[in-house]
Amino acid sequence: MCGIVGYIGKREKREFLLDGLKELEYRGYDSAGIAVLHQSEINYFKASGKLDNLTEKTKDFRSLGFGIGIAHTRWATHGKPTEINAHPHWGEFSFVIHNGIIENYMEIKKELQGEGVSFLSQTDSEVIVHLFEKYIKQNFTAQVAFEKTINSLKGAYAILLISKIAPESIFFAKNAVPLIVGRNAKDELFFGSSDAPLIGFADEVIYLEDGSYGWANEKEINLYKNSQKMQPNFKLLNSSKIYAQKDGFRFFMEKEIYEQSIVTSETLMGRIKDDKVFFEELSEYDFNDIEEIKICACGTSYHAALASSYLFERIAKIRCSVEIASEFRYKEPLLDKKTLFLIISQSGETADTLQALKMAKKAGLKTLAVCNVDNSSIVRISDVTILTRAGIEKGVASTKAFATQVLVLWLLSLHVARSKGKLSEDLCKTEIKALRGVPTVLKVNEELHEKLHRLSKRYLHGHGFFFIGRDIFFPLALEGALKLKEISYLHAEGYPAGEMKHGPIALADSTLFTVALMPQTLLYDKIKSNVEELSARDATILAISPKEFALADDFIKTQPYEHPMSEFFEMMVITQLLALEISVRLGNDVDMPRNLAKSVTVE
């Protein structure tokens, strides 16, 4: 979850490095630092808290002319979020920044301390620079010293190291967390934890593979993997910086809610041909020997998985189970090679999901990822990947990624149904019609948004929220509750509507807010009676339904769609906007909520 930026070249380095870190702020952090090596002189600065503190500390520093620089935003994993624990960490003549977790750092630290090395920080990362300098003092070249250092490390790392003994080079290494190298026609080299800081500077990039390392200077990139020299494989960096801006919205999250209509049309692009679902990625993929689908994910991605499990069983007639990745990892699961292991992840870097994937691969299961970030760790490890095409999602609270995940999974349920001969022509027509309608359903109605803005003032207190729904609206209720929790910090629970009478209804009183998802296409009478039970006990009801509901204290009227998934997507937007507007009224940081990070790369 840390952010890494690096630069080799002649431009003013402070500005590039700080701007690069700003592009990575969405990943969440609690301290930051930079180090610049210019004419054999290293200047470094660190600050805890927001980036503005580092900007202030470096305000008189400039570095023009050839030089190298590294910069880091830290999300604490070992050691408190203090300035001393901020990166870069240094030895006597070298500086290092690191993202990930060095699992064997205590052994290395103890050995180095036994040899008289003193440590300043509580971090695992600091062992890297002392180990490097230990090998330098044993008269190894900087390259060999770096290689020996990397070979000593166990765990996850993206590393940039600079040293006075090699003032023109940045040493880099990558394992299990992302690191990208970019270049342009002006002989400038860039490093980043993601594309974002490189957009507008690099023309092409390398997404480094696990186990790769090397050193780069103005003239060349020396790339190795398992001591073998590798040919750098550059790809065009085609993201547009525009997309990463807020373009007129108050928050990235708001922009991303409004973007759902356009990105879902991109998600569908090329995947419905002649009224049939088509996945180019799956053209070689045989589902016939698959008897079950097991889906594994975290957070919002888990909710998408849960919603899709109803579709896989109902449409594809295939057994489908869903696992929370952090539970799955340690439950010693029974895995069968006839099970397709489906991994859902926006970032493709979530540690728990990544480890679950590795378990499934080790057990010999076919693996398929539904992911939003190409070349991410999960994408690179999975047998096959279907990209959701949601574009950069910078709001920590996921919205368009969720929408595109559900859409891809719905498409996939139809693809599996067809491949197993379970899809009737009538059902196919009905589903394709509803699929094609999703981008329209997701167009935000500005009057509705304004209504939710006005309504939100009533929901700023109370002793909590229940979001309730049945069938696919139960996972949507879970997701609506998570959205609200994440950005308003108010307590909210998603619950199966039918379960309320088995305990939670004891909480019902006038200060308990219940958001009821009441579609007309699925179990309406059942959900209606559940809501009436709550209303009879004076719970405050916000009903979301195409059908008028007199007992509601507040009512949002939705479109009378004929397909449950159309109702699902419309109600999804309503719960997203409700959470956004409540959070705005509470004055919270909608895009970077407290305690959260966009990509949870540690367990």
Which residues bind to ligand AGP, rule: CB under 6 A? 298-301, 345-347, 350, 353, 396-398, 486, 599-600
- Of 30 and 486, which CB lies nearer to ligand AGP in the complex structure? 486
- Of 298 and 407, which CB lies nearer to ligand AGP in the complex structure? 298
- Of 431 and 486, which CB lies nearer to ligand AGP in the complex structure? 486
Q: How far is residue 130's CA from residue 591's CA, in Å, rounded to a whole number?
A: 37
Task: Provide, rounded to whole angstroms, the least separation between the CB of residue 158 and ligand AGP.
Answer: 17
Q: Please return the burial class of 405, using the count of CB atoms within 10 Å of its CB with bins 0-12, 13-18 and 19+.
A: buried
- Of 210 and 538, which CB lies nearer to ligand AGP in the complex structure? 210
428 a catalytic residue:
no
Task: Provide, rounded to whole angstroms, the least separation between the CB of residue 346 and ligand AGP.
Answer: 4
- The residue count of the chain comes to 603
> 447-465: string of b/e by CB count within 10 Å (b at 16+)?
ebbebbbebbeebeeeeeb
Task: Provide, rounded to whole angstroms, the least separation between the CB of residue 343 and ligand AGP.
Answer: 9
Are 265 and 407 in contact, with CB atoms under 8 Å apart? Answer: no
Q: Please return the burial class of 219, using the count of CB atoms within 10 Å of its CB with bins 0-12, 13-18 and 19+.
A: exposed
Neighbouring-strand partners of residue 196: none
Task: Provide, rounded to whole angstroms, the least separation between the CB of residue 581 and ligand AGP.
Answer: 17
- Which of these, 336, 333, 341, lies nearest to 366 by C-alpha position? 341
Residue nearest to ligand AGP (CB): 299
- Of 543 and 571, which CB lies nearer to ligand AGP in the complex structure? 571
**What angle do helix axes 126-137 and 142-152 make, rounded to 10 degrees?**
130
- Of 348 and 439, which CB lies nearer to ligand AGP in the complex structure? 348
Backbone phi and psi for residue 176, each to the nearest 5 degrees, phi listed first: 75, -10
Task: Provide, rounded to whole angstroms, the least separation between the CB of residue 363 and ligand AGP.
Answer: 21
CA distances from 41 to 15, 35, 37, 142 (A): 18, 10, 5, 18
- Of 58 and 377, which CB lies nearer to ligand AGP in the complex structure? 377
Are 257 and 444 in contact, with CB atoms under 8 Å apart? Answer: yes
Backbone phi and psi for residue 536, each to the nearest 5 degrees, phi listed first: -65, -20
Are 304 and 345 in contact, with CB atoms under 8 Å apart? Answer: no
Q: What angle do CA 509, 513, 514 make, to 5 degrees?
A: 105
- Of 51 and 478, which CB lies nearer to ligand AGP in the complex structure? 478
Reduced to 3 states, what is the DSSP secondary structure of residue 119?
coil
- Which of these, 346, 403, 3, 12, lies nearest to 196 by C-alpha position? 3
Catalytic residue among 22, 46, 109, 598: 598
Task: Provide, rounded to whole angstroms, the least separation between the CB of residue 503 and ligand AGP.
Answer: 25
Backbone phi and psi for residue 196, each to the nearest 5 degrees, phi listed first: -45, -50
- Of 516 and 592, which CB lies nearer to ligand AGP in the complex structure? 592
| Dihedral sign computed on CA atoms, order 206, 212, 217, 221 | negative
Catalytic residue among 2, 298, 320, 371: 2
Q: What angle do CA 475, 370, 159 make, to 5 degrees?
A: 115
Reduced to 3 states, what is the DSSP secondary structure of residue 350?
coil
Q: How far is residue 223's CA from residue 209's CA, in Å, rounded to a whole number?
A: 10
Task: Provide, rounded to whole angstroms, the least separation between the CB of residue 219 and ligand AGP.
Answer: 37
> 70-104: string of b/e by CB count within 10 Å (b at 16+)?
bbbbbbbbbbeeebebbbbbbbebbbbbbbbbbee
296 a catalytic residue:
no
Task: Provide, rounded to whole angstroms, the least separation between the CB of residue 307 and ligand AGP.
Answer: 14
Task: Provide, rounded to whole angstroms, the least separation between the CB of residue 282 and ligand AGP.
Answer: 21
Catalytic residues: 2, 598
